[in-house]
Amino acid sequence: MPPPDPNKNVVILYKGETVYDSMRVMTDQIGEGLRRLGYRTEDLDLVAPGHSERLIALFNRRDLAFFFGFNAWGADLDLNGRSLYDVTQAPMFKFFLDHPIFGFSRVTASTTRRGLFSFTCRNQADFVRALLPEDREPQVIPHGAFVPSDPPLPMDRRDIEILFVGSVIHPDSIREGWANIEDRARRVLTDAVDLYMSDMQQTFIHAILGVLARTGAEINDIGEANFARVAIELDRYMQAHLRYTTIERLTDLPLQVYGNGWEALRDKGTRATFHPAENFGRSMAMTNRAKIALHAIPYYYESHERVFNGMAHGAAVMASRSGYFESIFTPGRDLLVYGFADADLPDRLAALARDPAKLAELGANGRRACLAAHTWHHRAADVARLVALYGTGAGFATVGSA
């Protein structure tokens, strides 16, 4: 990739509110990757005092290469109706980490067509592609790994046998909240749960469309607002249900869980131990102490940073199935995968915990494979490449997904 134009080589990195500091740390990692490519970077913290004055000053800058924000931080900034990105003639790159159904207005909201956006897996890009004009083609850039500054602890010095990081809402509590959903939409939602559980290779959007198709209905029949509510609730429920039931099956193992919402399992007095959620830095420190890093999320979330982070920190990763991860890594060599219906998951984890040679092999191979091509530094290069290809004109022609 050629170096950036020396006269336009500054990237503005937006920072905003985030849970556990994770996206702010990811932004720092993107900045490090861009600086390695020859860009200069400046942070603009949208929640810090005085950010408005810094923002206004940007309108007079002519050295800007592009702007970058996770989940569309800063995507629709203007001054007296003048778009920041039209005035500076610098594109905005929106890197979405969440499924677009959780904030579709952030996908489409912009006073300018001067911008690119990406999603972490192909089914999310396909969802957006079906709803936007052809000249707003979404890109696909997966998550990346946090690049550790310290070497990984040797496996025999790690004191956490099995680590799971993640909060949960009890699935029953989510279902109780469905009582205030309009009757027809609620029936679609409950039927979609059953349809998804019958085939977990589909996405939650496909499950809803499948229920509608069986009754000859369309999205308009329940209304766009109800469709969005049903989709959000279905995804929330499936994430919570699969996460909760997976951990529930493993509480007789030496499992340490860091996250909120696990009181029902914690109070049963099992071998597993439950701790409050920690910030990003603490989570990474614990990952470096873990022999096994467990991951549990629906298959349709093909990419997730916790899988990459576990590998980058030298843990043996056991991840729920993902076509993406199984295509870029070799299961059994770089990481292990499981299905939510696998009855032998507790036995597999117990056997792995007793096998120091296999733990060391998976940890070393996974770390090597991850750091070679799948860090946030690598994703920064993907972002810069796409901006160089498609971000120099007043708009963007239809392009293929990355």
Q: Delineate the domains of the chain, giving CATH numbers in brackets.
A: 10-144+376-390 (3.40.50.2000)
- Per-residue pLDDT, averaged over 88-102, amounts to 90
| pLDDT of 293 higher than 80 | yes
DSSP of 252-279: TSSEEEESSS-HHHHTT--SSEEE----
Question: In the prediction, which pLDDT does 81 show?
Answer: 78
CA distance to 78, 215, 292, 302, 323, per residue, from 298 (Å): 38, 26, 20, 8, 12
With cut-offs at 50, 70 and 90, classify the pLDDT of residue 86. confident
Model-wide pTM > 0.85: yes
Tokens of 389: 């290809």
Question: In the prediction, which pLDDT does 270 show?
Answer: 82
- Per-residue pLDDT, averaged over 295-320, amounts to 97
Residue 239 Cα to chain centre, angstroms: 13
Question: In the prediction, which pLDDT does 159 show?
Answer: 98
- Per-residue pLDDT, averaged over 358-364, amounts to 98
Contact between 83 and 111 (Cβ < 8 Å):
yes
Pick from 277, 199, 297: nearest CA to 305: 297
Contact between 265 and 84 (Cβ < 8 Å):
no
- Per-residue pLDDT, averaged over 102-123, amounts to 77
Percentage of the chain exceeding pLDDT 70: 95
Apex 57 CA angle, 56 and 60, nearest 5: 110
Q: How many residues does the chain have?
A: 402
Question: In the prediction, which pLDDT does 134 show?
Answer: 62
Among 9-13, 33-37, 108-112, 375-379, which stretch is predicted with the lowest mean pLDDT?
Answer: 108-112
Question: In the prediction, which pLDDT does 135 show?
Answer: 58
CA distance 385 to 230: 37
Among 95-109, 231-245, 388-402, which stretch is predicted with the lowest mean pLDDT?
Answer: 388-402
Contact between 389 and 116 (Cβ < 8 Å):
no
Question: In the prediction, which pLDDT does 392 show?
Answer: 53
- Highest-scoring range by mean pLDDT, 1-15, 131-145, 167-181: 167-181
- Per-residue pLDDT, averaged over 27-52, amounts to 94
What are the start-end ranges of the H helices in 288-343? 305-312, 323-328
- Per-residue pLDDT, averaged over 5-24, amounts to 91
With cut-offs at 50, 70 and 90, classify the pLDDT of residue 109. low
Q: pLDDT for 143-181, tens place per residue?
A: 999 999 989 999 999 999 999 999 999 999 999 999 999
| pLDDT of 117 higher than 90 | no
Question: In the prediction, which pLDDT does 401 show?
Answer: 32
